[in-house]
């Protein structure tokens, strides 16, 4: 599964809102708090506003705010308006795929993949992530052997790891964007015309 930049950025911005009590926070504050490109983020947040995940508030104290409490917004609620269905097969619902011969039961695999994605993305809320208290089923997945390792194409999943697996990382502190204090480059002078 590929997680788009839109979904990643949106989740990070909404987690910042959740940690701030639901908002309102201005788009530039959300972008700065997570080190995200402001214009891209604001376009993404507009899609979430249209989907009813966010609301906007005008005025000096305005900005974006969560449309529902953080414990009622799941990661799937963020991903679907931005990227569409959680799992598709050639642009179709997995249950609509039809295969013949030895591939007859491949549809069952695709439906199971969608169900597994739902088990995580429809149960984990913004409040869970902010509190660092993920549902037990998600914790069990994180504790599985190999969960924190990338699988290399062409290498069996049960092959010996090339190096010792890393321990499960602790939740990082929120990262704040830092502005560069480097001096601005001197402007180039136009060449003098030859006479």
pLDDT of residue 47: 94
pLDDT of residue 156: 66
Q: What are the tokens at 44?
A: 């993404």
Mean pLDDT within 119-126: 95
pLDDT of 136 > 60? The answer is yes
pLDDT of 125 > 70? The answer is yes
Q: Is the entire prediction scored with pTM above 0.85? A: no
The mean predicted confidence, pLDDT, of the chain is 83
Q: If pLDDT is split at 50, 70 and 90, which confidence band does 59 have?
A: confident
Which of these, 40, 71, 66, lies nearest to 53 by C-alpha position? 66
pLDDT of 128 > 50? The answer is yes
Spatial contact of 58 and 49, defined as CB atoms under 8 Å apart = no
Residue 110 Cα distances to 60, 98, 146, 172, angstroms: 49, 11, 22, 34
Q: What is the CATH number that goes with domain 5-143?
A: 1.10.10.10
- pLDDT tens digits, one per residue of 69-88: 999 999 999 999 999 888 88
CA 169 to chain centre: 18
pLDDT above 90 coverage of the chain, percent: 56
CA 47 to chain centre: 14
pLDDT of residue 134: 94
Domain ranges of the chain: 5-143
- pLDDT tens digits, one per residue of 141-184: 999 998 888 887 876 666 555 555 555 556 555 444 444 444 44
pLDDT of residue 182: 46
Q: What are the tokens at 1?
A: 């599964």
Q: What torsion do the CA atoms of 5, 30, 73, 132 make, to the nearest 10 degrees?
A: 90
CA distance 13 to 42: 10
pLDDT above 70 coverage of the chain, percent: 79
Q: What are the tokens at 107?
A: 């549809």
């Amino acid at each position: 599964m590929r997680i788009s930049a839109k979904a990643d950025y949106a989740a990070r911005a909404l987690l910042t809102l959740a940690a701030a009590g639901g908002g309102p926070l201005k788009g530039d504050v959300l972008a700065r708090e997570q080190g995200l490109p402001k214009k891209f983020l604001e376009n993404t947040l507009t899609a979430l506003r249209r989907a009813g995940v966010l609301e906007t508030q005008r005025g000096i104290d305005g900005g974006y705010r969560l449309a529902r409490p953080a414990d009622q917004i799941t990661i799937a609620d963020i991903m679907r308006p931005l990227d569409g269905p959680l799992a598709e097969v050639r642009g179709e619902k997995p249950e609509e795929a039809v295969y013949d011969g030895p591939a007859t039961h491949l549809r069952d695999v695709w439906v199971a993949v969608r169900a597994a994605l739902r088990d995580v993305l429809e149960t984990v809320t913004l409040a869970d992530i902010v509190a660092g208290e993920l549902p037990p089923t998600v914790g069990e997945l994180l504790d599985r052997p190999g969960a924190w390792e990338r699988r290399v194409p062409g290498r069996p999943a049960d092959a010996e790891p090339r190096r010792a697996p890393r321990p499960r990382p602790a939740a990082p502190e929120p990262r704040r964007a830092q502005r560069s204090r480097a001096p601005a480059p001197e402007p180039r002078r136009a060449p003098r015309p030859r006479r």
